[in-house]
Amino acid sequence: MRTSTLIARSASSSFRSAIRSKRPFPSLSPSFLAFTASAPLRSLGLGLRGPNPSFCKPFSSQWSSAAEAAEDPADSSDDTVEELLNRGEDRIHQLMKMERRSEPEGGSHRGRWFPYRDLFKSGNAALGSREVIAALDPYILDARKERIRRAVENRSYSVCLVVEGLTDFGNVSAAFRSADALGIQSVHVISKDSRKRYRDNRHVSMGAEKWLDIELWNSPTDCFTALKNRGYRIVATHLGIHAASIYEMDWSLPVAIVVGNEHMGITEEALQLSDMHCSIPMKGMVDSFNVSVAAGILMHHAVCDRISRLGCHGDLTSEESQILQAEFYLRHRETTIGIVHEYAKRMEGLLGKQ
Residues 6+ apart with CB under 8 A from 339: 66, 70, 135, 136, 139
pLDDT at 122: 83
pLDDT at 93 over 50: yes
Contacts of 127-131 with CB under 8 Å at 24 or more apart are 127/340, 127/343, 127/344, 129/98, 129/322, 129/323, 129/325, 129/326, 129/327, 130/322, 130/326, 131/343, 131/347
- How far, in Å, CA of 5 to CA of 43, rounded? 8
Q: Which fold has domain 81-114+158-310?
A: Alpha/beta knot (3.40.1280)
pLDDT at 330 over 90: yes
Side-chain-side CA neighbours of residue 29 (13 Å)? 4
Q: Kindly report whether the global pTM for this prediction surpasses the value 0.75.
A: no
pLDDT at 226: 95
Higher pLDDT: 210 or 194? It is 210
The highest-confidence range among 95-99, 128-132, 204-208, by mean pLDDT, is 128-132
Share of the chain above pLDDT 90, in %: 48
Question: What mean pLDDT do residues 97-118 have?
Answer: 82
Residue 125 — φ and ψ, nearest 5°? Answer: -95, 150
Of the listed ranges 142-156, 204-218, 247-261, the least confidently predicted one is 204-218
The highest-confidence range among 57-61, 118-122, 260-264, by mean pLDDT, is 118-122
Decide: helix, strand or coil at residue 66: helix
Share of the chain above pLDDT 70, in %: 66
Q: What is the pLDDT of residues 7-58, one digit of tens each?
A: 444 444 544 454 444 444 444 444 434 444 444 333 333 333 333 333 333 3
pLDDT at 192: 63
- How far, in Å, CA of 75 to CA of 181, rounded? 13
Q: What is the pLDDT of residues 293-304, one digit of tens each?
A: 999 999 999 999
Element (H, E) at 55: none
Q: Which residues in the chain are classed under CATH 3.40.1280.10?
A: 81-114+158-310
Of the listed ranges 16-30, 35-49, 199-213, 224-238, the least confidently predicted one is 35-49
Question: What mean pLDDT do residues 167-196 have?
Answer: 84
pLDDT at 326: 97
Q: Average per-residue pLDDT in the chain? A: 77
pLDDT at 351: 63
DSSP string, 244-267: EEGGGS--SS-EEEEE-BTTTBS-
pLDDT at 87: 56
Question: What mean pLDDT do residues 215-237 have?
Answer: 95
